[in-house]
């Protein structure tokens, strides 16, 4: 690829007021590291010899406000078969004697970026802005050619840094019909204008003085809250005939089907046929045959994504995937489809977006709406979403990252369905912890059984794969199963149903917590709230502004039975608490039965998203539980 270092995209560029500029922006944005001074993007959509000709020219100018600028000196631009990078120029502007002097970037290095689950021929050009420091500025100019008219990217009117000025211009041939889908644009002061020339329609969006958006952990993907628009080419005129491109989901599906319609036309290999026969011979019904095939693919086909051009959208042949024992989401779906067909069972290729993509197929009928492929299977009115790229997912539970998402299910060349993946009920994602407790002086000694199902179990199994010694396992379980405080120590454990897809994982373990109880005179004080998940996981910082996203809804149950020491009786027993809300339900209860105190705590998460406007209500509920966590049982000598 050839990089042109001497070209002009947007006219002459100069910097001249080093000190004044820096003082202005450090006063205006005292908590920011960088300010985007100017951002201009021009998208040109036309025709050349009856073929789409689409280019995008971009200019970005930044000023850095503190010494952390040196950590941002290393930059990169991505490109692919569909987004070619044609021209690139980058410069630093360094304050010397109160004037900016330009230092051009002279070295650009190309690199493969092996990442992504759907299309992955992405490469990057890497470079370093020289002499970047406090008060320095940078300029980046580049031009891209977009090879497929279906792949117009979003333009964002906000980011995680302040923006002084930003504009997005589309210059489109008059024969092209466009639609602009807006997201998170409510209240955003964007100036929109439209004008026409003899050949083109020109659309321009401009915005000034945009505050930075704050990145916070556990926030939804930035597409959920940053203001942006997605331009969509709906149709175009060809010699008086209107040709639809992406007017609706049907148009997207027709293109998708054109890429998979000839899949697996060759006969399945004898080895693959024998395997399917072995897996399904003794199964009592169709569902159990599917289960056996699905689990075999999960266990035996390694997930590797390495694609080029349309190979990022076209699944490999099942025979090839079976032979190599690796592939990406499309390849695994191809193999599953073929294996089900060998068994006389129908499955359907299915396109779907992960939860990081907030769009519906109706709003965005373009490849921007999805990034993943799975297999759809129907049995007795129930839908099963098979994704063999993951490990340990039972047949009945789809991956957590597609919960609530629309799925585009292929039926035949003309027919498809849009189905919605259910959000798994919290009762299916259970962590239960039962323990019998005794006091040895002030040390709490226990025998416990912890049981996990659903997503919590799946997450734990991924983490367990690298724990290959007993010492590593004990260290791991000391953290995962901790009760009381950080002096908790497992002395022995036994795992049951480990790596079993359909049965709960059970960990029996013996433990002690030294000096956990407190003895004063003839009284023993002990806090039976050995797990304080609600306080540690749900308490929200008062300064937080971004919503909080949970991976899944779950249920947590603790039951601890404390043997009352000989010669003691219960002097004080907390009343406990119980309430339900649309955010979460919880209860804590205490009961005395003969010589035992039975403590129970139950928690149920009812939503995947905590919205910012609900933070106070949630914290008020957490405060009620926090107050209960402070309660202690008092035992008194008889």
**DSSP conformation letters of 421-448:** PPPPPGGGSEEEEEEEEEEETTEEEEEE
- Fold designation for 427-637: Jelly Rolls (2.60.120)
CB-CB contact of 633 with 573 (8 Å): yes
In the chain, ranges of CATH 2.60.120.1130 domains? 427-637
CATH of 18-244 among 2.60.40.3140, 1.10.3720.10, 3.40.50.800, 3.30.70.100: 2.60.40.3140
Distance CA 371, CA 231 (A): 18
Q: How far, rounded to the nearest angstrom, does the alpha carbon of residue 521 sit from its chain's CA centroid? A: 54
- How confident is the model over 89-114, as pLDDT tens digits? 999 999 888 889 999 999 999 887 55
CB-CB contact of 490 with 477 (8 Å): yes
Question: 12 pLDDT exceeds 50?
Answer: no
- Residue 517 makes CB contacts below 8 A (sequence gap 6+) with 439, 442, 443, 444, 524, 525, 526
pTM above 0.75, yes or no: yes
Distance CA 206, CA 1 (A): 33
- How confident is the model over 193-234, as pLDDT tens digits? 999 999 999 999 999 999 999 989 999 999 999 999 999 999
Q: How far, rounded to the nearest angstrom, does the alpha carbon of residue 348 sit from its chain's CA centroid? A: 25
Structure tokens at 481: 């199963």
- How confident is the model over 133-154, as pLDDT tens digits? 999 999 999 999 999 999 999 9
- Residue 541 makes CB contacts below 8 A (sequence gap 6+) with none
Distance CA 335, CA 386 (A): 12
What is residue 382's three-state secondary structure? Answer: strand
pLDDT tier for residue 6 given thresholds of 50, 70 and 90: very low
pLDDT value at residue 50:
84
pLDDT value at residue 117:
42
Q: Which residue has the tokens 């631009």?
A: 77
Distance CA 85, CA 80 (A): 8
Structure tokens at 123: 């490469």
Question: 84 pLDDT exceeds 90?
Answer: yes
- Residue 515 makes CB contacts below 8 A (sequence gap 6+) with 442, 443, 487
Distance CA 515, CA 442 (A): 5
Q: Which residue has the tokens 């992960």?
A: 354
Distance CA 576, CA 587 (A): 7
pLDDT tier for residue 308 given thresholds of 50, 70 and 90: low
Q: How far, rounded to the nearest angstrom, does the alpha carbon of residue 20 sit from its chain's CA centroid? A: 42
Distance CA 585, CA 602 (A): 8
Q: Which residue has the tokens 């008889």?
A: 638
What is residue 218's three-state secondary structure? Answer: coil
CATH no. for 251-420? 3.10.620.30
Structure tokens at 323: 């032979």
Distance CA 206, CA 191 (A): 5
C-alpha distance from residue 546 to each of 411, 540, 583 (Å): 40, 11, 16
| Helix and strand element counts for the chain (H, E) | 10, 36
Distance CA 400, CA 356 (A): 12
497, with CB counted inside 10 A (0-12, 13-18, 19+), is middle
In the chain, ranges of CATH 2.60.40.3140 domains? 18-244
pLDDT value at residue 123:
83
Q: What is the mean pLDDT of residues 459-484?
A: 95
Question: 10 pLDDT exceeds 70?
Answer: no
- How confident is the model over 601-617, as pLDDT tens digits? 999 999 999 999 999 99
pLDDT value at residue 78:
87
Average pLDDT, the chain: 93
pLDDT tier for residue 124 given thresholds of 50, 70 and 90: confident
In three-state form (DSSP H/G/I as H, E/B as E, the rest C), the secondary structure along 77-94 is: EEECCCEEEEEEEEEEEE
Strands 555-563, 430-440: pairing is parallel
**DSSP conformation letters of 365-380:** -SGGG--EEEEEEEET
In the chain, ranges of CATH 3.10.620.30 domains? 251-420
pLDDT tier for residue 156 given thresholds of 50, 70 and 90: very high
What is residue 481's three-state secondary structure? Answer: coil
pLDDT value at residue 304:
82
pLDDT tier for residue 1 given thresholds of 50, 70 and 90: very low
Q: Helices 286-300 and 329-342: crossing angle, nearest 10°?
A: 140
DSSP 8-state class, residue 315: P
pLDDT tier for residue 49 given thresholds of 50, 70 and 90: confident
- How confident is the model over 484-509, as pLDDT tens digits? 999 999 999 999 999 999 999 999 99
Structure tokens at 152: 């117009």
In three-state form (DSSP H/G/I as H, E/B as E, the rest C), the secondary structure along 588-625 is: EEEEEECCEEEEEEEEEECCCEECHHHHHHHHHHHHHH
Distance CA 624, CA 626 (A): 5
């Amino acid at each position: 690829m050839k990089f042109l270092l001497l070209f002009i995209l947007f006219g002459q560029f100069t910097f001249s007021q080093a000190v004044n500029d820096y003082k202005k922006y450090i006063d205006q944005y005292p908590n920011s590291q960088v300010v985007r001074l100017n951002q201009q993007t021009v998208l040109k959509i036309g025709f050349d010899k009856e073929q789409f000709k689409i280019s995008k020219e971009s200019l970005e100018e930044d000023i850095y406000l503190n010494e952390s600028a040196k950590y941002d000196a290393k930059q990169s631009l991505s490109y692919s078969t569909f987004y070619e990078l044609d021209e690139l120029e980058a410069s630093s502007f360094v304050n010397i004697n109160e004037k900016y002097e330009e230092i051009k970037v002279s070295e650009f290095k190309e690199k493969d970026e092996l990442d992504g689950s759907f299309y992955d021929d992405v490469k990057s050009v890497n470079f370093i802005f020289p002499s970047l420091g406090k008060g320095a500025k940078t300029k980046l100019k580049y031009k891209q050619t977009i090879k497929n008219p279906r792949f117009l990217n979003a333009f964002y009117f906000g980011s995680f840094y302040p923006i002084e000025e930003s504009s997005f211009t589309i210059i489109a041939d008059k024969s092209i019909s466009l639609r602009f889908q807006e997201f998170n644009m409510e209240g955003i002061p964007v100036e929109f204008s439209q004008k026409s020339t003899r050949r083109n329609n020109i659309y321009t969006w401009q915005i000034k003085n945009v505050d930075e958006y704050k990145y916070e952990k556990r926030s939804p993907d930035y597409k959920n809250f940053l203001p942006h628009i997605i331009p969509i080419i709906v149709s175009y005129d060809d010699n008086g005939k209107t040709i639809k491109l992406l007017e609706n989901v049907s148009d997207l599906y027709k293109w998708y089907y054109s890429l998979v319609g000839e899949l697996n036309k060759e006969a399945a290999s004898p080895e693959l046929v024998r395997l399917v026969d072995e897996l399904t011979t003794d199964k009592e019904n169709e569902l159990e045959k599917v289960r056996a095939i699905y689990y075999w693919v999960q266990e035996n086909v390694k997930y590797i994504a390495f694609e080029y051009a349309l190979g990022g959208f076209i699944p490999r042949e099942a025979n090839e995937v079976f032979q190599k024992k690796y592939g990406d989401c499309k390849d695994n779906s191809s193999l599953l489809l073929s294996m089900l067909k060998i068994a006389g069972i129908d499955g359907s290729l299915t396109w779907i977006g992960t939860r990081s993509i907030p769009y519906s197929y109706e709003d965005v009928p373009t490849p921007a709406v999805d990034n993943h492929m799975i297999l759809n299977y129907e049995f007795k009115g129930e839908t099963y979403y098979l994704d063999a790229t993951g490990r340990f997912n039972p047949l009945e539970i789809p991956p957590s990252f597609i919960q609530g998402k629309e799925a585009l299910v292929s039926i035949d060349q003309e027919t498809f369905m849009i189905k919605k993946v259910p959000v798994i009920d919290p009762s299916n994602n259970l962590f239960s912890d039962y323990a019998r407790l005794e006091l040895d002086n002030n040390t709490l000694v226990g025998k416990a059984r912890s049981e996990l199902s659903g997503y919590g179990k799946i997450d734990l199994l991924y983490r367990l794969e690298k724990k290959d010694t007993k010492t590593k396992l004990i260290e791991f379980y000391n953290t995962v199963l901790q009760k009381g405080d950080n002096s908790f120590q497992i002395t022995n454990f036994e795992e049951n149903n480990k790596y079993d897809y359909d049965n709960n994982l059970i960990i029996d373990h013996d433990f002690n917590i030294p000096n956990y109880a407190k003895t004063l005179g003839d009284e023993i004080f002990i806090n039976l709230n050995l797990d304080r998940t609600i306080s540690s996981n749900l308490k929200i910082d008062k300064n937080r502004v971004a919503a909080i996203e949970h991976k899944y809804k779950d249920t947590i149950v603790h039951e601890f039975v404390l043997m009352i020491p000989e010669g003691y009786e219960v002097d004080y027993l907390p009343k406990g608490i119980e309430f339900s809300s649309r955010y979460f339900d919880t209860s804590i209860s205490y009961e005395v039965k003969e010589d035992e105190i039975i403590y129970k705590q139950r928690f149920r998460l009812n939503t995947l998203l905590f919205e910012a406007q609900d933070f106070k209500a949630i914290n008020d509920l957490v405060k009620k539980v926090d107050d209960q966590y402070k309660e202690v049982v008092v035992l008194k000598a008889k």
